[in-house]
Structure 1
Amino acid sequence: MYEYIIGKVVDVYEDCLIVENNNIGYKIYTSKYSLSNLDLKKDVKIYTYLNVREDGIFLFGFSSKEEMEMFELLLLVSKIGPKTAIGVLSTLSYNDIKLAILNNDVKVLCKAPGIGKKTANRIILELKDRIDDNIAVDNSFNFLDDNCIEEAINALMVLGYTKKEIDRVLFKIDTEDLDTEEIIKSALKRLSK
């Protein structure tokens, strides 16, 4: 029904954002990757998926067309709903998922919450023919880096920062080559601004 929404990001939460368009605030559930690409008070284009269930109407959205397409592909797999698909996309980039499917890599898919061996095998079986071989360059934040990020988050929360504040800052830091202490220092510099 809705292909995308262009509007101003007025708030960001752990699993969703509020986009204001024509004085209407849309609550859009999304992945950590899409949240990492957003800036408050800036206009964004969010590709959307409307999910109607008997317990409510939910809007899911993503900052890139590729992530949206992967979300829709994951929904084609039996027993995977929108929340599980969001969990997968919050843990693995769409390229990681593509590579895992193309390489029959069950182990990688099992890193996502709610995905066991049976479900991972089902994803591979049901999506292998639907995935193209082109892997785009993806410089997305890797949510599986190591325990340094987890330790940094816990330390910052002890210092009184909320998970929401910490997530916003961490998404803007290249943590790949940093240890826990360096991540904390970088985050504190941004949090104190």
Structure 2
Amino acid sequence: MISSVRGEVLSVGLDHAVVEVGGVGLSVQATPATLATLRRGEQAHLHTVLVVREDALTLFGFADAEARDLFGLLQTVSGIGPRLALAALAVLEPDKLRTALVEGNITVLTQVPGIGRKGAERLTLELRDKVAADAAPGPEPDTHQAQGPARADVVADVVQALVGLGFTAKQAEQAVEKVAGHAPDDTSGVLRAALATLGRKS
């Protein structure tokens, strides 16, 4: 198991980054929040999980061990694979996700695209006793850093990324339109702001 990687960031995309380790560029799938902490040309240290499938080897990276462990814990529930687990951590911060599991908050859990009411109930039933009892929601992301309207190419990229996470095109477009005038005028900023908006919807 590859539990962590450290090296120079060669590139940062909407859903992954390439980190050079020992002369090899490793593609690491990650949430927008994690990717936003990376800068091309700088050193990065990511906690990782290697998911092995018959047709692919996929490396998932996280800013801290807590998120990585929660990613693995989610997948112990039937019907929750790595993509859905990553989507859950993209929409809900680890503390908020843990709190929802402990409290059995179905409304919060069903904000994650791909998780319906039955899936949310199964998550709380199986994981309630496994997550920290003292989980508390973290601060709401700041989505009001006014830096001008988002460019058309940024909007298109963010909508595509949200659809890739499982949201419908309509949901993605509405979320981006709502934050476009307030979020930082860059792809990661708009993506994080749009996810924050989608995550707060009931």
Q: Which residue of 2 aligns with 1:163?
A: 157
Aligned residues: 167
| Amino acid paired to 2:29 | Y
Q: Which residue of 1 aligns with 2:199?
A: none
- Give me the whole-angstrom Cα distance separating, in 2, the residues matched to 1:41 and 1:140: 30
> Is residue 2:60 matched to residue 1:60?
yes
TM-score, normalised to structure 2's length? Answer: 0.73
| Amino acid paired to 2:78 | S
Alignment CA distance shift 1:90-1:133 (3 Å): same
SS of aligned partner of 1:129: coil
Q: Which residue of 1 aligns with 2:82?
A: 82
Name the Cα RMSD after superposition.
3.0
- Give me the whole-angstrom Cα distance separating, in 2, the residues matched to 1:87 and 1:33: 12
Q: Identity rate of aligned residues, in percent? A: 28
Indicate conservation of the 8 Å contact 2:20/2:26, yes or no.
yes
- Deviation, 1:17, is 0.8
Indicate conservation of the 8 Å contact 2:28/2:61, yes or no.
yes
Alignment CA distance shift 1:11-1:123 (3 Å): same
Alignment CA distance shift 1:25-1:179 (3 Å): closer
Q: Among residues 161, 174, 185, which one is paired with 1:187 in the alignment?
A: 185
Q: Which residue of 1 aligns with 2:25?
A: 25
Indicate conservation of the 8 Å contact 1:101/1:124, yes or no.
yes
Is there any run of 5+ residues in structure 2 with no aligned partner, and where?
Answer: 162-177, 190-202
Indicate conservation of the 8 Å contact 1:33/1:140, yes or no.
no
Task: Deviation per CA, 1:104-152: give whole Å up to 9, x if none.
Answer: 100001011111111111110110111112336845747xx7xx89xx9
Task: Deviation per CA, 1:23-65: give whole Å up to 9, x if none.
Answer: 1000011112211222221111111111111111111111111
SS of aligned partner of 1:156: coil
- Deviation, 1:9, is 1.2
- Give me the whole-angstrom Cα distance separating, in 2, the residues matched to 1:97 and 1:156: 29
